[in-house]
Amino acid sequence: MNFLKRTIPLVVAFVMGVLMAIQYYVPHRISQDLLEVVSRWDRIIAGFAVFIGAYSLFHLHWTRIKRKVEGWGYSIFVYFGAIITLIFGFLNGGKFFWNDKQEGTMFDWLYFYVQVPAGATIFSILAFFIASAAYRTFRARTKESTILLIAAVIVMMGRVPIGNYISQYIPAVADWIMAVPNLAAKRGILLGVSLGAIATSLKIIIGIERSYLGGGD
């Protein structure tokens, strides 16, 4: 059992890790085909995994409805939305699902006039959250937050016409903040991230990091 659950996954991780690392340096068609095959496997597995995800979602909400846990009414909407979408998806504008997807069907309508606006509504909340988060952060209580406040005010002013109206130097200073200290910090983080990613990949390839298989070491 340990062989199946531990050894085989570790061998697969090692072989595929080394193989794909080498693949990056080999431009030959055979190497490109290998990448394509592996990517195709990934897409196939992802396709099947959708069923697992759907099962998880429906099972969870069915349990919530059955046990009448707090807010179980929302779970009915999950089923309602899924069934309606499935019905119109299968109907495919009267051509049924075994034909190519038809345009301008009720399925499209649900997507464009329900899902997209609902998503946009959630996204629009971000503006208010930015304002509230900015209010909390920009209180000049410490030296660091004061620097942050000053930098933020300059960058904000430099990005709107009134900044240039007050002084032509404000947009220039804003650009300098973005191009020099901001970029330097960003690159510093990226360098650290890249090294961390290399170290993590290596740990997984040589099998000393096994926690992703479950159970720590």
Partner 1 sequence: MNLLKKSFFISAIFFIPFSTATVLFAQSPAFLIPPAEFTAFDTPNDAGETISLTWSASPNDSPDVFYVIYIDKDKNGAFEKEAIRIKSNTSYRTSAPEIYGYKKKNNDYHYVQIFPKKVYNGETLPKKQTLYFKLAMVSGDTKITLDTIASASARGNWLHTKKINNFVIMIILSAIILYFIVHARRNPDMFLRKIGGLDAVDEALGRATEMGKPVLFVHGLTGMGSISTIAATSILSRIARKIADYDANLKVVNNDPIVMSVSQEVVKESYLEAGRPDAYNPDNVFLVASEQFPYVAAVGGIMTREKPAANFFIGYFYAEALILAETGATTGAIQIAGTDAYTQLPFFITTCDYTLIGEELYAASAYLSREPMLMGTLRAQDVGKGLLIIILILGTILASFGLTFITHLFEAF
| Residues contributing to the site for partner 1 (CB under 8 A) | 21, 24-32, 42, 45-46, 49-54, 56-57, 59-60, 63, 70-71, 74, 115, 118-120, 122-123, 125-126, 129-130, 132-134, 136-137, 186, 189-193, 195-204, 206, 208-209, 211-217
Report the distance separating Cα 97 and Cα 87, nearest Å. 10
Nearer to partner 1, 2 or 168 (CB): 2
The terminus-to-terminus CA distance of the chain in angstroms comes to 16
DSSP string, 26-58: --SHHHHHHHHHHHHHHHHHHHHHHHHHHHHHH
Please name the residue that has the structure tokens 């059992």: 1
Q: Which of 3, 4, 6, 2 is nearest to 210 (CA)?
A: 6
Nearer to partner 1, 26 or 140 (CB): 26
CA distance 22 to 217: 27
Q: How far is the CB of 194 from partner 1 (least distance, A)?
A: 9
Both tokens of 60, joined, read: 């969870």
Nearer to partner 1, 98 or 129 (CB): 129
Q: Looking at beta carbons only, is 67 or 98 nearer to partner 1?
A: 67
Whether 97 contacts 90, CB under 8 Å: yes
User: Shortest approach of partner 1 to residue 161 CB, angstroms?
Assistant: 25
CA distances from 72 to 65, 162, 208 (A): 5, 51, 43
Tokens 């952060």 — which residue? 137
Closest to partner 1 by CB, 48 or 98: 48
Q: How far is the CB of 206 from partner 1 (least distance, A)?
A: 8
Amino acid identity, position 33:
D
Task: Give the nearest distance from C-beta 208 to partner 1 in angstroms.
Answer: 5
- Taking the complex as a whole, the smallest distance from the CB of residue 216 to partner 1 amounts, in Å, to 6
Helices 29-67, 8-23: crossing angle, 10 deg rounding? 130
Residue 3: CB minimum distance to partner 1, A: 16
Nearer Cβ to partner 1, position 46 or 166?
46
